Structure 1
Amino acid sequence: MLVGVPKEIKSHEYRVGLSPAAVRELCARGHEVVVETGAGAAIDFSDAQYESAGARLAPNAGAVFTQADMIVKVKEPQPDECRMLKAGQILFTYLHLAPDPVQAGLLRDSGAIAIAYETVTDDRGGLPLLAPMSEVAGRMSIQAGAACLERIRGGRGVLLGGVPGVPPATVTVIGGGVVGTNAARMALGLGARVTVIDRSLPRLKELDALYGPALTTAYSTVDAIDSLVMASDLVVGAVLIPGAAAPKLVTREMVKAMRPGSVLVDVAIDQGGCFETSHATTHDDPSYIVDDVVHYCVANMPGAVARTSTVALNNATIPFVLALADKGVRRALYEDAHLSAGLNVHEGRITHKAVATALDADYTPVEEALGL
C-alpha cells in the first residue's frame, strides 16, 4: 500500500501523522510512503530523515493526496484537504465530527473511508488512540490555566501553588478519565487544592486510592458542579462521550456566578465543549473573557508540544496503520472490532452511531457498509 503523509495546515499545528521511525516500520513491511516536503520540519524531523527511513518526498499536499491509497494525518482535514480526498481512499486521523457538520458533509461527498482515532477502542473499554493526546492535553490544561490566572492575562492574579502564608489556588476538574486524571496530577504536583468530579463511583474510588487525602472527589450532580465551580479559581472541563458532542455541564448562569478573574479551560472543545460559554480558539489567540471569567479553549492543545505529542501518538497508532496497510481496509476492519469502531464515514455513509445522532444524520452499521 502507498501511504501518504501531508503537512498539517491547521493554525499552529506542528505535529505530523508519521514520524521517520514509523515510516521505517512501514517500509520494512514492503509498503511505500510519500511525505510532503517539510511535513516534520517544525519538530526537527527533517526531509533527509524521512528519505533515510525509506520515504519519497512530494512537493505539496496535492501530490500526496493524488498518489496515496491511505492518508495518515493528525488533525481533522480542513475543507481544502477534504476536497482532495478520492472515493475509496482511506483517511486515518482525528475527526471529531459530532460538532462539525461541514466536515462531515465534505467527507461524505468525497466517498472516502474515514477512520477516526478518537473512536477506536480497546478490550478494556478505553480509547487507545485518544489516550496519548488526552494525557498531554490534561497536563497542559494546568499549565495553560496557571498562566491564565496571571493578572496580565485577565486572571485573578493567583499563583496555583500559593506560597507560605498564602493559600494555594482551588482547582476543580470535571471528569475523572485520562484528561482529568492527568490534570489532577499536575495540579496536585504544583500544590493546588484539587477536586475531581465524576459520575462513576468506581472511578472516584480508584482516584481516592491513587491519591489519598491529597485529592478530593465528588459525585457529579448539578448541585455539586454549581457549588464547586463557584468556589474555584480554575475549572478544567475534561468530559468525553466517545463520538458524541460533549454535554454542557457548566451553564452561563454558573459562569456569571464565578469570581472575576477565574479561569475555565475546556479540553472537551474538540467535541463542542462542556461549558455553555465555550467556543474554539487557536494558539494564535487562545483565550477570551466572558462575564469577567477567562476562557481557554484551544482545539489542538497538544500541537504546542508537537514533538512529544507526535512520538506519543505514533507509538499508539502505528499498529493500526500497519494493520490497514498489510491487510487492506475491509479485512483489517473485519478482523478487529476495535479498529472498526473507529470507522466514522464509509463511502458517503455515517457508520458511527453517536456521530450520526449528533449530526442528526442517517446511520449505517459498519457491517452493512462493508457488506459483511
Structure 2
Amino acid sequence: MVQSIGLPKEIKDGERRVALDPSAVKSCVQAGFDVFVETNAGVGAGFSNADYEGVGAKIAANAKETWAADLVVKVKEPQESEWGFFRRDLTLFAYLHLAAEPALAKALVDSGIDAFAYETLEEKGGLPLLAPMSEVAGRTAAIVGAHYLAAGSGVLLGGSAGVPPARVVVIGMGVAGTMAARGARGMDAEVTGVDIDLHRLYMAHQEGTVTATLASSEHAISEAVRDADLVVGAALVTGAKAPKLVLRDHVASMKPGSVIVDLAIDQGGCIETSRPTSHSEPIYEELGVIHYCVTNVPGQYPKTASRALSAAVVPKLVRLARDPEDPMLTGSLNISKGEIVHPVVAQAIGR
C-alpha cells in the first residue's frame, strides 16, 4: 500500500528537469499521499523548495530520504550511484529505456523492485507519457541541427536569395519526427519524411509538414541520406531497441560537415554510427559527419519539458499509487519481483 511518494533530484549529466512540478505535487497531496521532495530538486526547472512546501510537500535533506518513500517518481533512468537505493518493497516510475540499458535491467531484477516505465505505457494506440518529451525533442532537433550545420558545412537551413535551402531527411514520422520536420520547414528547409506507414506520410504531406515523402526501404534511405545536409533519426519500436535504418555506408556517402541528430539514441539509436553523448559533450565527428546523440535532449528546456511531462505523468502516478494493476497503466510494468515481465523488453535484452 503506497502512502508516500519520493521525488529525487535528477543527477544525469545536464539533466535539469523534474518529474513533478508543484501543481502535480499538490494533486498527489490532495489525493492523500505524503510527498517528499529532495531539496532543490526543482531548481533547474525554475521551482523552488518554497514552491513545493507551499502545496504541502515535505522537503527531504538528501536523496536517501526521498528514495525511502514507497513509490519513487523520476524523469531519467536511475544512474549507477542510485542503484544502492533499490529494494524489494519499492515501486519506481520513470523513463527506463531498458533495451539500451542491460546493466540497469539486471540491477532492477536483482533488487526485486517493481519498475514501471513511462515509455512503454500504452493508451488508445499511443504512448501518452512518451509523447510530450518526443514533442520537445523533435522541436529541439531542428534547432540543434541548424546550429551544428553552421559549425560544420556552413549551410543555412533556409538558404537565401539565389541559394537553395538545406535538405533535411527525417526518418520516422511519429511525434518526434513530425515536430523535427515542422521545425525544419519553419526555417524554410526542404524536408523529406521517411516512414513505413503510408497513411502517416500522406497526412504529413497534406498538412505541409514535409515537402516530400519516401516509403522506408534501405535503398530509399540510402539515396535520401546521400544528398542530405541534416538527417534526423526518430524511428521507434515500443520497448525494443531502435532498428538500425541508416547504415555506416549511408553515413559515409554524406557530404562533409553535414549533421546527424539521432533522437532514438535512448533506445540504442537508429543510425549505425550513433553512440550516446551528453549535454557536456554533445557531439562527435565520424566519417566527416557531425553526430548529435544526446540521450536526454529535452533537458535543455527544463521548465517547458518538466511542466509538459508532469501534466502527463501525475494522473497515471496517482492511479499507480492506488492500484498498480489499474488498466490505465497497461504496458508500463517492465520488471516485477525479480522478473522482466514486459515481453518486448525481455526479448530486447535477451532474458
TM-score normalized by structure 2?
A: 0.98
Matches within 5 A, 1:242-253: 242-253=238-249
Match of 2:298 in 1: 302
In the TM superposition, 1:196-215 aligns within 5 A as 196-211=193-208, 215=211
1:41-52 map, 5 Å: 41-52=43-54
Give yes or no for contact 2:158–2:165 (8 Å, CA) kept in 1: yes
Alpha-carbon offset, residue 319 of structure 1: 0.7
| 2:207 partner SS | helix
Asked whether the equivalents of residues 197 and 215 of structure 2 are also in contact (C-alpha less than 8 Å), the reply is yes
Aligned to 1:107: 108
Q: Relative contact order (C-alpha < 8 Å, sep 6+): which is higher? A: 2
Note the C-alpha offset of 1:82: 2.1
Is this contact kept in 2: 1:65–1:84, CA < 8 A? yes
Helix, strand or coil for the counterpart of 2:168? strand
The 2-side partners of 1:15 and 1:348 are apart by 29
Matched residue, 1:364: none
The corresponding residue for 2:232 is: 236
Stretches of 4+ aligned residues off by more than 3 angstroms: none
Q: Which residue of 2 aligns with 1:263?
A: 259
Could you list the runs of 5+ residues in structure 2 that have no partner in the other structure? Answer: none
Distance, in Å, in 2 between the alignment partners of 1:45 and 1:281 is 27
For this pair of structures, how many residues does the alignment match? Answer: 349
C-alpha distance in 1 between matches for 2:107 and 2:222: 39
Distance 2:330 2:120 in 1: 9
Instruction: Give the distance between the partners of 2:343 and 2:231, measured in 1 at CA.
Output: 30
What amino acid does structure 1 have at the position aligned with 2:309?
Answer: L
Report the Cα offset of residue 132 of structure 1. 0.1
* Displacement after TM superposition at 1:340 (Å): 3.0
Unaligned runs of 5+ in 1: 362-372
- 1:13 positional shift: 0.3
Shift of 1:209: 2.0
Instruction: Output the CA distance in 1 between the equivalents of 2:292 and 2:110.
Output: 33
- In the TM superposition, residue 328 of structure 1 has moved relative to its aligned partner by 3.2
What is the CA–CA distance in structure 2 between the aligned matches of 1:34 and 1:205, rounded to whole Å?
48
The one-letter code matched in structure 2 to 1:170 is R
Are 1:274 and 2:270 an aligned pair? Answer: yes
Q: Give the corresponding residue for 1:17.
A: 19
- Which of 9, 34, 37 does residue 35 from structure 1 map onto? 37
Alignment partner, residue 183 of structure 2? 186
Are 1:83 and 1:106, in contact at CA under 8 Å, matched by a contact in 2? no
The answer for the alignment partner of 2:323 in structure 1 is 328
- Provide the C-alpha distance between the structure 2 equivalents of 1:63 and 1:25, rounded to a whole number of angstroms: 21
Matches of 2:270 and 2:304, distance apart in 1: 26
The aligned residue for residue 126 of structure 1 is 126
Query: Given the alignment of the two structures, is residue 77 of structure 1 paired with residue 67 of structure 2, yes or no?
Result: no
In 2, the alpha carbon distance for the partners of 1:82 and 1:40 equals 22
Single out whichever of 91-100 and 339-348 deviates more from structure 2: 339-348
Residue 54 of structure 1 aligns to a residue whose secondary structure is coil
Aligned partners of 1:43 and 1:274: how far apart in 2?
30
Q: Secondary structure in 1 aligned to 2:220?
A: helix
C-alpha distance in 2 between matches for 1:208 and 1:340: 32
The worse-fitting range, judged by mean Cα deviation, of 199-208 and 300-309 is: 199-208
Show the counterpart of 1:221: 217
1:167-215 CA-to-partner distances (Å, cap 9, x unmatched) read 1100000001101110111000100000000011111112122217x52
Kindly indicate whether residue 333 of structure 2 is the aligned counterpart of residue 343 of structure 1. Answer: yes
Q: CA RMSD in A?
A: 1.0
- Give the TM-score of the pair, scaled to structure 1: 0.92
Please tell me the residue identity of whatever aligns with 2:263: V
